[in-house]
Amino acid sequence: MLTIFLSRLLRMVIVMLGISVITFLIFFATPGSDPAARIAGRNAAPETIAAVRHDFGLDRPLYVQYGLMMDRLFITRDLTSFANRGQKIVPTIMSAAPATLSLVAGAAILWMALGATTGIIAAAFRNRLPDKILMGASMMAVAMPVFWVGEMINLVTQSRLHDTWAFSWVPPLGYVPLTSDPAGWFFALVFPWICLALMYIGLYGRMLRTGIIETYQEDYIRTARSKGLSARRVLLKHATRTAIIPIVIMFGMDFGVLVGGAAVLTEVVFGINGVGRLTYQALKALDLPMIMATVLYASFFVVVANAIVDVLCVMIDPRMRQK
Amino acid sequence: MTKSSEKTPAPVLSVRGLSVSFRGARGVWSEVVRGLDLEIGAGETVALVGESGSGKSVTSMAITRLLDPETSRLGGSILLDGQDILALSEEDMVSRIRGQKVAMIFQEPMTSLHPIYTIGDQITEALTVHSPMSKAQARKQAIELMQRVRIPNAEARISDFPHAFSGGMRQRVMIAMALASRPKLLIADEPTTALDVTVQGEILDLLKDLQEEFGMAMLFITHDMGVVAEVADRTVVMLRGDMVESGTTAQIFDAPVQPYTKGLLASVPKLGTMRGEPVPLRFPVVNMANGSVTPGTKLDRTPDTAAPLLKIRDLVTRFDMRGGLLQRRVAQVHAVEDVSFDIYPGETLSLVGESGCGKSTTGKSLIQLSGGRSSGSVDLSGTELFDTSGEKLRRLRRRIQMIPQDPLASLSPRMTISEALTEPFLEHRMGSRAEALQKAERLMRQVGLQPDMLARFPHEFSGGQRQRLCVARALMLDPEIIIADESVSALDVSVKAQVVNLLMDIQQNLGIAFLFISHDIAVVERISHRIAVMYLGEIVEIGPRSAIMERPAHPYTRRLIEAVAVPDPSRRHSRRSQEPQELKTPLHPMSYVPPKRRYIEIAPGHLVRDDVTTAA
């Protein structure tokens, strides 16, 4: 157990090191990204830029700059933004993270529950009406862009029908911290959750349906049926457990990527100041410290989510356990 | 048609005029079983025999109504323990019939158990689903069942997963599950086909014992006449969905009436028919339409024993098991250990042994396709293969060709036969496209197919024809040696004999040497000049065919030969005296040093491993 944990940790450090180096190099290879010019401001004299460059250590070799940045990011934790003078990077991300985590975790519960239900029901009624309806609906859910769905939801719940009994409870756009007002937190996130989960419900439902139907071709399903198990038990206990493994693996990827910032469209549409939005702004401003921090934060979650998924997979399928 | 002379007062299963139809492409219904009559009494075993496509497995699925009702139709009547199966609803089948009145075991024990539940879970599920009981009680009964089917150490193994069991042990688990609710009828669908001969014998003995104990009726589905002779009281022969002949097993074997039955019996390779024959002998040619038999002819060409074509010395192949923090090697599978032998031009050397003994890995290691780490020396008439790599090795591979076990899987489904045959020829720059086509046409005739079939795709051929195509493909490159890895194992008996005869024709005409890898000893006896017996990665005995078959010296060789099922109904009530054995694996820790083996030459060319002075 300890060796597995240590080897995971080692792998995570290697992944994050690689990503940070690549991010760093790409940044300096990007045209117009010279941080000194940006810090010095518009129409600054060449002497000023040179002075700034020297002050910020930007005239030193790249590997020294990289080392300094890692030091200020992880050890002293006082790395500041290049774009917004004085903005401390680490606290900014720390304050944005809970919003993103709340959004993605809630949506994940929703899409796993509904996606699994959709897939199982569709597989049980394969090629019959319930299957066709569910698959049609999930195809639509996958096809509709998140920002469009979000705007439609806002149009209905915030403006057109906001004053009716159905949606009067919907709070204005934005994030309410869980610690200050749990109920407010929940109500504020209901529609963002639905909006973010919709596509994944469709995607996971379709994948699980295909997986279960394929599993029905396996010899051990025939064994289960010949034992005299009911159709429901064969479906839930014997077919679904094998078919759910690829879904769990995909879930790890998706969850990590979303927590790392890929939920940006939902965050922007619902006015949630999350990590995705932060990353987007940093990229727009070519703000290296913020980009670096958000990218590393994202990769951390991808690696962690994958580690959790590996543990889950071993729990579902004991064959994956190493001897 | 002969009627059974035995009295069956109240048959457990009575099938009358059963017909099964499947809905094929474009909604066309085709009948795959027609007018089948079958009766099995308590304590009786009826064998359903036929080649692939005869409808025997479909029949078993029809009796348990496991066929998809949307794509299949059943006709006639099936009475099981007095109940009309075809009149019951699916709910009734679940709650009253399947797993209670009738239980099944299948051909593939490897895939028939759910891979992610422990075998204890799976056996207790079969117990509790029909009769509610406490967890502790179910566990106790499951352990009892496991002991009944003679799984050693049942109490400890109940929480193991199927992958920790060998094929034979898994089949025992399947049997334990089937017996859970003491069924009236047990349907065994090719239960021993995927198992090694020694394990097959153990499972057959077990089934015979359990049948006596439980007094159940047994429907035994198989293509193997040896197995039929051993287990069945009565036999029903099927051909393409029709019942050809039925009667007591003794009648069917001693006095078959229908030509097809005669042909089927005549094509069964029988062990021991080669006694006293100095050279390999072709299989008798059986006419399946009238059952007449033309005796097999001798292989006239003798091997050229002046200088070996292929000289293998101290071949070792190991596979790594990795683990730990840095995925270091923690153990090794010693798949092939210190194997040495020669093959002479025009000779057939057979490698026999049970699954996992390293015979296939040996074949693949010669051309560096095993995927493991190999060492030793492989000398192909003066060229050391293990010193070559890259382009040079690729060109050398032309001289050693392979015929695979599964021809369909080894022919690309998207290439026409003409493309599949000419590709290696062109790839090795052996001539122009026109020459390649010419050669392909010539070879098609040589392997008994029509040149105009070249435009077809692999799925348009039968299993035997596909194997002929693989032979033709191997011959395209004028190889000096062909490695035939279980090449005829998956074929029906009548087709198997034809393909073996084809290989012998080719050897006679072209003088090609064969490394014939097989677990089927009756076939090996026909085709080989010499035989090497492998066990746990090592050769235990090697020598001329007659010496190995008639005077086996190593205990393992004897065990292997004795275990073969003999198509002789008089042996039905005999039991082998062999203890069940869990297969040993050649998995060893990194520190393991394999013992240095010595071989004793007990007769010219007949070497036996000396186990007395070098015991491991």
pLDDT top residue among A126 and B197: A126
Neighbouring CB atoms inside 10 A of A10's CB total 12
* Domain-located, residue B1: no
> Residue B6 above 60 pLDDT?
no
The listed range with the strongest mean pLDDT (A22-31, A185-194, B269-278, B482-491) is: A185-194
- The total number of structural domains in chain B stands at 2
Mean pLDDT within B275-290:
82
**Comparing B417 with B55, which gets the higher pLDDT?**
B417
| Same domain membership, residue B321 and residue B261 | no
Confidence of residue A116 (pLDDT cuts 50, 70, 90): very high
B289 in a domain, yes or no?
A: no
Q: Does B250 touch chain A (CB under 8 A)?
A: no
B234 domain residue, yes or no = yes
Q: Over chain B, what is the mean pLDDT?
A: 87
Is B295 contained in some domain?
no
- pLDDT, residue B613, reads 64
Query: Reduced to 3 states, what is the DSSP secondary structure of residue A201?
Result: helix
Counted residue by residue, chain B has a size of 616
Whether the per-residue pLDDT at B32 is higher than 70: the answer is yes
Its domain, for residue B247, covers 13-267
DSSP single-letter state for residue B408:
H
Tell whether B480 and B596 lie within a shared domain: yes
C-beta of residue B502 within 8 angstroms of C-beta of residue B447: yes
Domains in chain A (CATH in brackets) are: 24-89 (no CATH), 94-320 (1.10.3720.10)
Split at pLDDT 50, 70, 90, the class of B573 is low
> How many inter-chain contacts (A to B, CB under 8 Å) are there?
82
pLDDT-based confidence at B9, cuts 50/70/90? low
Q: What is the pLDDT of residue B574?
A: 67
Q: What is the mean pLDDT of residues B64-87?
A: 88
Examine the pLDDT at B615 and tell me if it is beyond 60. no
**Structural contact between residues A8 and A277, judged by C-beta atoms closer than 8 angstroms:** no
Q: For chain B, positions 60-119, list CB contacts with chain A under 8 A.
A: 64, 66, 90, 94-95, 97-100, 103-104, 106, 108, 111-116, 118
CB of B218 closer than 8 Å to CB of B44: yes
Whose tokens are 């980009």? That residue is A291
Q: What is the per-residue pLDDT across B332-374, written as a single tens digit (0 to 9) for each?
A: 888 899 999 999 999 999 999 888 788 889 999 988 888 888 8
Does B27 reside within a domain? Answer: yes
pLDDT for B325: 62
Give the CATH number of the domain where residue B153 resides.
3.40.50.300
Provide DSSP, A104-124: HHHHHHHHHHHHHHHHHHHHH
Alpha carbon of A73 to those of A60, A289, A300, B44: distances in Å? 18, 8, 14, 80
Among chain A residues, CA nearest to B181? A227
Contact B113 A220 (CB under 8 A): yes
- Residue A262 DSSP code: I
pLDDT at position B302, please?
85
**Residue B150 binned pLDDT confidence (cut-offs 50, 70, 90):** confident
Give percent helix, percent strand, percent coil of chain A, each to the nearest 5. 75, 0, 25
Side chain identity at B152, as an amino acid letter? P
Residues of A in contact with B66 (CB under 8 A): 222, 225-226
Q: Return the sign of the alpha-carbon dihedral for residues B369, B370, B372, B378.
A: negative
| Exposure string for B51-60, b = 16+ CB within 10 A, e = fewer | bebbbbbbbb
Q: What pLDDT digit, counting tens, does each position of B489-522 carry?
A: 878 887 888 899 999 999 999 999 999 999 888 8
pLDDT at A248: 92
> B373-380 and B606-609: which strand pairing?
unpaired
Percent of residues, chain B, with pLDDT higher than 90: 33
Q: How many CA atoms lie within 13 A of B392 on its CB side?
A: 7
Q: In this predicted structure, what is the pLDDT of residue A203? A: 95
**Record: contact B114-A238, CB cut-off 8 A:** yes
Query: B228 and B117: one domain?
Result: yes
pLDDT at B578: 59
A53-73 pLDDT tens trace: 888 778 888 888 888 888 888
Based on the domain organization, do B235 and B331 belong to the same domain?
no
Pick from B227-231, B287-291, B413-417, B572-576: least confident: B572-576
Residues 6 or more apart from B242 whose CB is under 8 A from it? B34, B35
Residues B371 and B517 occupy one common structural domain: yes
Same domain, B237 and B344: no
Looking at mean pLDDT, say which of A14-28, A205-219, B40-54, B198-212 comes out highest: A205-219
Q: CA A130 to CA A124: how far, in whole Å?
A: 9
Residue B576 predicted with pLDDT over 80: no
Of B238, B267, B296, the residue that ends a domain is B267
Residue B356 located in a structural domain? yes
Contact between chains at A220 and B326 (C-beta distance less than 8 A)? no
Contacts of A233 in chain B (CB under 8 A): 129
* Residue B443 within a domain: yes
Stronger pLDDT, B277 or B142, i.e. the higher one: B142
Q: What is the pLDDT of residue B8?
A: 46
Q: Are residues B324 and B259 in the same domain?
A: no
pLDDT at B493: 81
Name the residue among B98, B161, B323 with its Cβ closest to that of A225: B98
Residue appearing with tokens 């903005």 = A87
pLDDT of B616 > 60? The answer is no
Q: What pLDDT does residue B198 have?
A: 78
Confidence band, pLDDT 50/70/90 cuts, at residue A29: confident
Give the pLDDT score at B4: 45
The C-alpha atoms of residue B120 and residue B159 are separated, in whole angstroms, by 6
Which of the four pLDDT bands, split at 50, 70 and 90, describes residue B2?
A: very low
Angle, CA B267 vertex, CA B469 and CA B353 arms, to 5°: 70
For residues A316 and B551, give the distance between their C-alpha atoms in angstroms, rounded to a whole number. Answer: 52
Domain boundary among B267, B284, B301: B267
Tell me the pLDDT tens digit for each residue of B160-217.
888 888 888 888 899 999 988 889 999 999 888 878 877 888 888 888 888 988 889 9
**Residues B372 and B521 occupy one common structural domain:** yes
What pLDDT, on a 0 to 100 scale, did the predictor assign at position B583?
55
Same domain, B475 and B404: yes
Same domain, B347 and B494: yes
Testing the interface with B: which of A128, A219, A227, A320 to mutate, by most B Cβ within 10 A?
A227
Q: Closest residue of A to B327, CA-based? A: A7
Looking at the DSSP assignment, which residues form a beta bridge with residue A253?
none
Select the residue of B66, B97, B116 nearest A242 (Cβ to Cβ).
Answer: B116
pLDDT for residue B434 is more than 90: yes
* Residue from B364, B366, B398 nearest B479 by CA: B398
For the residues B78-84, what does the mean pLDDT come to?
Answer: 89
Q: Which of B267, B298, B320 represents a domain boundary (last residue)?
A: B267
Do B328 and B212 share a structural domain?
A: no
User: What mean pLDDT do residues A201-205 have?
Assistant: 95
Residue B3 has pLDDT above 70, yes or no: no
Which phi-psi region, left, alpha or beta, contains residue A86 (left: φ > 0; alpha: ψ -120 to 50)? left
The answer to whether residue B286 is domain-embedded is no
Do B260 and B336 reside in the same domain of the chain? no
Pairing of strands B72-80, B83-84: antiparallel
Q: What is the mean pLDDT of residues A188-217?
A: 94
Is A241 touching B (CB cutoff 8 A)?
Answer: yes
**CA dist A86 → A40, A56, A80, A251 (Å):** 14, 13, 6, 38
CA distance B600 to B607: 5
Interface of A with B in 142-181 (CB under 8 A): none
Average pLDDT on A1-24 reads 83
Query: pLDDT for A98-114, tens place per residue?
Result: 999 999 999 999 999 99
Indicate if the pLDDT at residue A323 is higher than 50: no
Mean pLDDT on B532-536: 92
Q: How far is CA A87 from CA A287, B247, B571, B610, in A?
A: 11, 93, 91, 81
Residue A318 is nearest to which of B103, B130, B161, comparing CB atoms?
B161
Q: Do A241 and B116 touch (CB under 8 A)?
A: yes
Question: For residue A322, which residues of chain B lie inside 8 Å, CB to CB?
Answer: 323
Q: Decide: residue B247, CB within 10 A, 0-12 exposed, 13-18 middle, 19+ buried.
A: buried
Please give the share of chain B, as a percent, with pLDDT higher than 70. Answer: 95
